[in-house]
Amino acid sequence: MGAISYADVFQIEHELESAEEIHVGDIIQMGANKSPQYSVIAISGDKVWVRNLQNGQDTLAPLKRCRRVVP
């Protein structure tokens, strides 16, 4: 059995309603929060490889949770 997340238990939806076009090199945020910000390293299908701009940590995330940061 896999790990159950807080979002699964309380049925919290992190996906965005509108689809933005995300490209490699864009600065993004996850969901509606203000931070942290990530740089997009690569995109493959519905997954995005991002790097946290504060601590340099890389992670994979669902593309539908990402929104571009407008300068």
Question: Average pLDDT, whole number, for the chain?
Answer: 80
Q: Which two tokens stand for residue 63?
A: 């593309």
pLDDT score, position 30: 83
Q: Where are the domains of the chain?
A: 6-68
The domain 6-68 having CATH identifier 2.30.30.140: the answer here is yes
1: pLDDT confidence band, cut at 50, 70 and 90?
very low
Q: What is the pLDDT of residues 14-38, one digit of tens each?
A: 555 556 789 999 999 986 667 789 9
Sheet harboring 47-52: ordered strands across? 58-62, 47-52, 38-44, 27-30, 66-68
Question: What is the pTM assigned to this prediction?
Answer: 0.70
**Which is more confident, 68 or 14?**
68
> In angstroms, how far is CA 9 from the centroid of its own chain?
20
